[in-house]
Chain A
């Protein structure tokens, strides 16, 4: 049985041969064949251990895919039967035990678009500062710290903040406006992150060429860097919208209500929203078991909306990255 240090078990009298052995064994290791000689079992064992552990890693990665698959599978199988034209275009009826989810769809769309209107300009401008203007130092460190910590604030705390500041202090009331502002504050770090990545992936030669022609920094940013980074920035926008669309806790106290028969007519109206509707039906509805199919249906619509937007952004971004590399 050889040990982990095979050279010690070597024949002391044949140094040259052992060197040769070493080379040949390494060469055969690389080509994946079984090596021969005194190291055979060590090499085999190392390979077997490696194969076992790599397969464990492979399984771990597979577990994620399977988990995502199972969730989507359950939602589709149970939800697809609930989805039809009436479901998508009618308000709920009979104390939300029948009818559709139109107000929720409208509510979620207006909230997430509102959040984008808030976060997109601020996020992009922040990213421009971080990538084009900022110089390393304490100020930059502080700004980054702020962004990272904002990204880590729990969603329910955003809800509390929205309630205390937008709803109460600024007197927006429970409304689309308050909800969109709260969601906007929450999606800001997502948009900053994506925009900054997009800006940084613009090659420096672009900037140098523009500056070399006598353009100012701002002209360079506006005419050269931004257009080149725009697709990536827009991808970040899509990711931000989808994040806002799926969130529940921030809108619970700021925008969403159990039930309203009306579609919103202004940004000061309170609304229904898909995620909150799922929560309400599943936990506090009048007939939780009887409305199961409506819950699955609503969840499926929400997943379709969010994952659809994400899938578009991911595919688009992969294409952009490939183009950048080429």
Chain B
């Protein structure tokens, strides 16, 4: 009798934990459902093609224009330029931490990177606004310091820690015997890093880079405060832009509840959500398809 109830309890607990573990997927599904529920109605007014490729975003004029092409270009350009800064910086820091730094230094620099990751985005945005923007304006003689370049610079702050910590894990977990074999053949430390360690950890580093870019494209407060907010396709590095998240965050408060503008902002959210979802699925695919399994990775 006692065994039966024990067994019953065991099964019950296992079921319970399984159900709770489904919470993340459930939330993800609900996010999708509610985004689409509130976003789809705009497509009764405007076709998906006109929405995505429409050149003008004038949601409050009469008649309104809901074309998010400039916002998408804004988001992509900010993300690409920030990744030009954050990928080299993040990966180099990761190599330094995993391969070069002495244990003492490593134990100081690693927490610094983790602290960087925890800086609230609104503080970074604020910093970009009050310190970097006036600086850029004076140095380059610009009309405004709130622009594409400033936003990209501040965004790289947000993605460097992501890129660095995931790459570092990948580099650190390259088996020692691979490195020892290379060193024993007379290769220098640098040659070993370049020809053995990096090829062995490339899948982890790619995952890190993609997740870093995904973080950058979805980051809201920084681009809201620093990117300048002009809904137009940028022509130079110092043009103001209006990335997707900035547009949503700035306009939702004033959009009439369940009006066209409100639905259009949710539809913008769908586009943003799809972008990050694709980034994350690619990262997931790479990390599983090319999983690091010891010597077999090379």
Contacts and interface: CB of A to CB of B under 8 A. Distances in A.
Tell me if B's interface is mostly helix, strand, loop or mixed: helix
A161 B35 contact: yes
Nearest to B106: A61
A181 B64 CA distance: 34
B9 interface: yes
A303 B31 contact: no
Contacts of B125: 279
B199 interface: no
A40 B113 CA distance: 39
Contacts of B24: 126, 143, 146-147, 150, 188-189, 192
Contact of B188 (A47, A152, A192): A47
B190 A54 contact: yes
B34 A165 contact: yes
Given A157-B35, A165-B30, A189-B24, A149 B280 contact: yes
Contacts of A126: 17, 20-21, 23-24
A133 B12 CA distance: 12
Interface stretch (A65-73, A95-103, A264-272): A65-73
Identify the interface centre among A56, A133, A245, A292: most chain B CB within 10 Å of its CB. Answer: A133
Given A64-B89, A275-B122, A282-B129, A249 B220 contact: yes
Nearest to A78: B130
B209 to A, nearest CB: 14
A61 B109 contact: yes
Nearest to B111: A314
Interface in A243-290: 243, 245-249, 252-253, 275-276, 278-279, 282-283
B295 interface: no
Interface residues of B, number: 88
Interface string A144-171: 0111111011111111110111000100
Contact of A247 (B25, B120, B160, B253): B120
A295 interface: yes
Nearest to A144: B284
Contact of B280 (A49, A53, A152, A239): A152
Contact of A307 (B119, B131, B160): B119
Given A122-B23, A318-B107, A156 B218 contact: yes
Interface in B178-217: 186, 188-191, 211, 214-215, 217
B269 interface: yes
Interface stretch (B42-50, B65-73, B94-102, B233-241): B94-102
A209 interface: no
B124 interface: yes
Contacts of A143: 21-22, 24-25
A68 B28 contact: no
Tell me if A's interface is mostly helix, strand, loop or mixed: helix
Nearest to A160: B269
Contact of A134 (B6, B21, B129): B21
A206 interface: no
Nearest to A185: B27
Contact of B118 (A132, A148, A306): A306
Top-10 shortest CB links A-B: A154-B218, A246-B120, A146-B25, A60-B92, A129-B17, A129-B21, A50-B190, A125-B20, A152-B280, A249-B220
Interface of B: 6, 9-10, 13-14, 16-18, 20-25, 27-28, 30-31, 34-35, 37-38, 88-89, 92-93, 95-97, 100-101, 107, 109, 111-116, 118-127, 129-131, 157, 160, 164, 186, 188-191, 211, 214-215, 217-221, 224-225, 245, 248-249, 252-253, 265-266, 269, 272-273, 276-277, 279-281, 283-284, 288
17 contacts: A54-B190, A74-B127, A132-B17, A156-B218, A161-B30, A188-B24, A188-B27, A245-B120, A246-B122, A252-B249, A278-B123, A278-B126, A279-B126, A279-B225, A292-B130, A303-B119, A310-B114
Interface of A: 26, 46-47, 49-50, 53-54, 56-58, 60-61, 63-65, 67-68, 71, 74-75, 122, 125-126, 128-130, 132-134, 141-143, 145-150, 152-161, 163-165, 169, 185, 188-189, 192, 216-218, 239, 242-243, 245-249, 252-253, 275-276, 278-279, 282-283, 292, 295-296, 299, 302-303, 306-307, 310-311, 314-315, 318
